[in-house]
Amino acid sequence: MSGRTRHSVLPDYREFAEGFDVLDDVEGQPSVETAAGEVGLLLQGESAQAHVIEQPPWLITSCDHATESIILTLSGQWVLRADEETRRLMTEGSVFWFASGVPAGFEVPFEEPATILVFKSEKREDTPEAFADRLLEQAEASGPASILELPADHPAVEFGREVNEDFPA
């Protein structure tokens, strides 16, 4: 393990009033490096939660979440993959929804990271501590995969070249 504890990866939010939690700034909150990038919990409500992911340059990853999500691109550019052939460039301000149980892919064919805000309709874990424990478990898995390690004819590489004129040859 990285030496981090669950308490070192919990967000710095405060109860504003009964039934209100406030996080003053999304940036700078604790996070854990996972295969999807730097993931940090922001807030958990009674039945929903929000977390942020900073996706590193050249990332390629897939996920299949048990809950639906709405995802807002806070900064940077990245590619949403619905299947091996269906891709869409997402830019700052782009927002999308995906259903529960639907596989999705995330690719960053750029030299700059992209940051996304994820709103989940249901909590996977009951507490922020349980979310932190899951992040710490994921941190022990392999790190992010790189588009640059794929064959030149891979669809992610081909689309990367379409959306990024500076994509490495």
Paired with 145 in beta bridges are: 60
Task: Identify which has the larger pLDDT, 166 or 46.
Answer: 166
Residue 1 has pLDDT above 60, yes or no: no
What are the boundaries of each domain within the chain?
6-163
The pLDDT tens digits for 9-63 are 788 888 889 989 998 888 888 888 888 888 888 988 888 999 999 999 999 998 8
The pLDDT tens digits for 104-123 are 899 999 999 999 999 998 87
Predicted confidence band of residue 140 (pLDDT cuts 50, 70, 90): low
Instruction: Specify the pTM.
Output: 0.88
**For the residues of 70-113, what is the DSSP string, one character each?**
EEEEEES-EEEESSSS-EEEE-TT-EEEE-TT-EEEEE--SSS-
Task: Identify which has the larger pLDDT, 141 or 46.
Answer: 46
Q: What are phi and psi of 137, to 5 degrees?
A: -65, -45
Query: Which CATH code is given to the segment(s) 6-163?
Result: 2.60.120.10
Neighbour count for residue 123 (Cβ, 10 Å): 17
What's the rounded Cα separation, in Å, for the pair 54 and 133?
19
- On the CB side of 137, CA atoms within 13 Å amount to 6
